[in-house]
Amino acid sequence: MTTYSITTPVADLPFQMKQTFAGESVFVKNAYVAYLLTSSGFTLITDTDYPSYHSYAVTSITRVGSVATVTTTTTNTLEVGNTVVISGAVETEYNGTFTITGITTPGSVFTYTVSGTPATPATGTITAYGGWTTVPGIVYLDDYIFVGRTDGEIQNSDRNAFTAWDALSFFTPDKEPSLLVRIAKSLNFLVAFKTWDTQFYYNADVAPPGSPMLEQESAYLKLGCAAAYSVVEFDGGIVFMSQRDQNQRSREIHLLNGLTPQKLSDAYVERLLNADDLATVYSLYLSTAGHQFYVLTLVTSGITIVYDFANKSWAQWSSLSAQSPQSVISLTRDGYTVTASVEDHGFSDGDPVTMAGANETEYNGTFNIRYVDDNTFTYQIPDAPDSPATGTITATGYDEAYLDAVAYATVENLDVTLAEVSGTISALDRDIYQDTDVPIDVKLRTALFDYGSDNETIITYCRPIGDRVAGKLLIRYTDDDYNSYSRYRLTNLDVARPQLSGLGSTKRRAYDVRHTADTELRIEALEIESTKGYT
């Protein structure tokens, strides 16, 4: 396998890729740099008209007061407001990162503000490195590559020549005075997502000099994009987090199918969107097992929400990570119930806990525990080993966090995801029911229902309807609008008609279902048998 290194002035920025026609090349960029991958190699885009950081040799730097004047040896494309990094001056006050304050001679002379009173002219072998940065998104349309500058201009490469760029080949979406957030492609249109509105452009083959694009005026949307990295392109359209205007917190999730937006989010999802600061957002499209998913992670809130296009429903996805093992003081058995003594264990009722280190191996494994108190919990085992257990025994719980996935691809008929921090690539396999040996914590919750009256209703049984598998399901309920819950109770899914009975009476109830076993789970419904009681 051939590998290529990428050099970028700012570390840890996400890169994006766009394949051109028939996979002949791949355009790769982040905000600062761009590369073109072809069969002949990996080429840095050095054309100074590409909106990126470029390096320029400096002929001289002179100073009058606090104003430093820089002359470059070659033509530059720097503009007022650009960031520039000066290095190599013997008089170190000239070195550093600065904002260009003026253009004295376009293409060759610019100014910036310097601190102190360094000698003038500056000496040394000096370079200037800087320019524009680009917003997320790459569009490949009719043999052009398009990228968007942070000042709002959208520039295109020469046709079929993706390393060649012309300073005059650009257009600026300016129907409303809002910032460019991202560009994308829908059908044969370039979509310019801005802060408070969205504009569409098509290839009109306008003759150069200038961009070949013209605006599709009739498709204008008063919907902006709230987060650049909420945008996902797939064969069914573009999904993005929208916002309407600066006077209201109106974040929603929309599907842009062609030129028409369709709202996907509900009130519960929008409450989450509006509560987050959007400092870090990840999204991806994932297709597996006959389902297509839009996956959105709000890192500040620590939550991943997922839209299933097949079921037209939202869910929350998460991942578990092992905590530090805790020492078990004692482990005793009464029948098939094991009592563990662990000081300040911090576990909750129903949590999966991995027990290890017992010489009597029947005590070891991952179990759903029953909370007794802060220092005690119990769990069930199928055998009857000697009691008390011996050995150096530990109990390990799990922390739940947002789903650690930022990208998706299909490789050799495998669906794979890329982890955010570790860079681990994981394959999705329908025959594996754990996440790299860590339980998958499935939680389902019903709506509240009152059985059609204000009378007490006696619940005869609760029966999960689903596949018969070798595993257990945990069920609990709330009778006070989710404020408090009963204890979890286990029901065996490996019987013909699994059910729980002795569930008391209620006026208004909802159920929670939980599954962490290393077995397949497919639940269709909860069947509730009830009898109307009295007022």
Helical spans, DSSP H, in 262-362:
267-275
Q: Are residues 250 and 378 in the same domain?
A: no
Q: Are residues 155 and 216 in the same domain?
A: yes
Q: Are residues 482 and 515 in the same domain?
A: yes
- CA atoms of 52 and 34, how far apart (whole Å): 8
Q: Are residues 58 and 127 in the same domain?
A: yes
Given 71, 104, 131, the domain boundary residue is 131
pLDDT score recorded for residue 535: 56
Residue 297 lies in a domain: yes
Q: Are residues 85 and 179 in the same domain?
A: no
On the CB side of 198, CA atoms within 13 Å amount to: 29
Full pLDDT tens readout for the chain, 535 residues = 678 888 888 888 889 999 998 788 999 999 999 999 998 899 999 999 999 999 999 999 999 999 999 999 989 999 999 999 999 999 999 999 999 999 999 999 999 999 999 999 999 999 999 999 999 999 999 999 999 999 999 999 999 999 999 999 999 999 988 999 999 999 999 999 999 999 999 999 999 899 999 999 999 999 999 999 999 999 999 999 999 877 666 899 999 999 999 999 999 999 999 999 999 999 999 998 889 999 999 999 999 999 999 999 999 999 999 999 999 999 999 999 999 999 999 999 999 999 999 999 999 999 999 999 999 999 999 999 999 999 999 999 999 999 989 999 888 888 999 988 888 888 988 889 999 889 999 999 999 988 778 888 999 999 999 999 988 999 999 999 999 999 999 999 999 899 999 999 999 999 999 999 999 999 999 999 988 876 5
Q: Are residues 227 and 362 in the same domain?
A: no
Residue 463 lies in a domain: yes
Given 131, 148, 165, the domain boundary residue is 131
Residue 524 lies in a domain: yes
- CA atoms of 164 and 32, how far apart (whole Å): 17
Q: Tell me: the pLDDT tens digits for 304-324?
A: 999 999 999 999 999 999 999
Residue 15 lies in a domain: no
CB 288, CB 272: distance < 8 Å: no
CATH of the domain at 347: 2.40.30.20
pLDDT score recorded for residue 534: 64
Q: How far is CA 415 from the centre of its chain?
A: 17
Residue 11 lies in a domain: no
Number of domains in the chain: 4
Q: What is the 8-class DSSP label of residue 59?
A: E
Given 300, 318, 336, the domain boundary residue is 318
Q: Are residues 355 and 249 in the same domain?
A: no
Q: What token pair was written down for 14?
A: 């996400």
Residue 425 lies in a domain: no
Q: Are residues 110 and 225 in the same domain?
A: no
Instruction: Please tell me whether residue 136 adopts helix, strand or coil conformation.
Output: coil
Q: Are residues 127 and 189 in the same domain?
A: no
Q: Are residues 165 and 314 in the same domain?
A: yes
> In Å, what is the CA distance from 146 to each residue of 154, 189, 241, 243?
7, 12, 22, 24
- CA atoms of 96 and 115, how far apart (whole Å): 11
Q: What's the predicted TM-score (pTM) here?
A: 0.91
Residue 480 lies in a domain: yes
Q: Are residues 96 and 186 in the same domain?
A: no
Q: Are residues 283 and 365 in the same domain?
A: no
CA-based radius of gyration for the chain: 30
pLDDT score recorded for residue 1: 61
Task: Collect all residues with Cβ–Cβ distance below 8 Å to 107 and sequence separation of at least 6.
Answer: 75, 76, 77
CB 33, CB 7: distance < 8 Å: yes
> In Å, what is the CA distance from 296 to each residue of 104, 164, 189, 264, 407?
46, 35, 24, 13, 11
Residue-number span of the structural domain to which 344 is assigned: 324-396
pLDDT score recorded for residue 342: 98
Residue 30 lies in a domain: no
